[in-house]
Structure 1
Amino acid sequence: MVKLNEEMVKSLENEIVFLATASKDGIPNVSAMRAVKVLDAEKGIILIADNYMNKTLKNILENPNVAITTSNCKEVPYQYKGKAEYYTEGEYLKIAEEIDRSLKPDLKPKGAVVIKITEIYNLKSGENAGKLIAKD
């Protein structure tokens, strides 16, 4: 189980998050996301509201492997890798709706991407750059 510390949670929930995906053929895509909530820091589970996903969603449905970092990766230097699942109803969609209301009251998500983080890597330059920090 990969655990997110307080610094990681704060960064994921308050900064722009860059979500990298790849198609089933390995064509990469990266998108900036803002509607993010850590659902369970102890288990490394986060939710991203799908407001405008096109290529990102297509990729997730074809290939659930994703990578994430935040816009403040200089101060909080982590790359997160995991598996994504997509939901268009139920509890996760309700959480996505709450996230959107807090950011922009008239925004309504199409769905929710729930990511189980399975690995965390160091992004800080130096001898430990790219080093695996935690693995599920």
Structure 2
Amino acid sequence: MVKLSEDMVKSLENEIVFLATSSKEGIPNVAPMKAVKVLDAEKGMVLIADNFMNKTLKNILENPNVALTTANCREMPYQYKGVAEYYKEGEYLKIAEELDKALRPDFKPKGAVVIKITEIYNLKSGPDAGKLIAKDE
């Protein structure tokens, strides 16, 4: 189980998060996300509200392997890799609706992406660049 630190949680919830996906053919896509909530830091569970996902959603449905990083990667130099699931109803959609309501009351999410973080890598330049920091066993 990959555990997110308090600083990682703050960064993911307060910074622009870049979500990288790829199609089943391996064509990459990256998109900025703002409606992000850490559901469980101990289990590495992150939710992203789907407000405008097109290519991103298509890719997640074809290939659930994703990567995340924040715009503030100088201070929080981490790349998170994980597996995404998409929800159009239920508890996760309600959380996405609450998240949107707090950020922009005029938004209503189409769905919710829930990511189980399975690996964390160091993005800081230097001898440890790209080093695996944590991995789900």
Q: Normalising by the residue count of structure 2, what TM-score does the alignment of the two structures yield?
A: 0.99
Deviation per CA, 1:2-57: give whole Å up to 9, x if none: 00000000000000000000000000000000000000000000000000000000
What does residue range 38-117 of structure 1 map to in structure 2 within 5 Å? 38-117=38-117
CA distance in 2, matches of 1:12, 1:126: 23
Code of the residue aligned with 1:3 in structure 2: it is K
Partner of residue 27, structure 1: 27
Name structure 2 gaps, 5 residues minimum.
none
CA distance in 1, matches of 2:73, 2:112: 24
Deviation per CA, 1:96-129: give whole Å up to 9, x if none: 0000000001100000000000000000000000
Between the aligned residues of both structures, percent identity stands at: 83
Name structure 1 gaps, 5 residues minimum.
none
SS at match of 1:128: coil
State the Cα RMSD in Å: 0.2
Partner of residue 36, structure 2: 36
In the TM superposition, structure 1's runs of 4+ consecutive aligned residues that sit over 3 Å from their partners are: none
Code of the residue aligned with 1:43 in structure 2: it is K
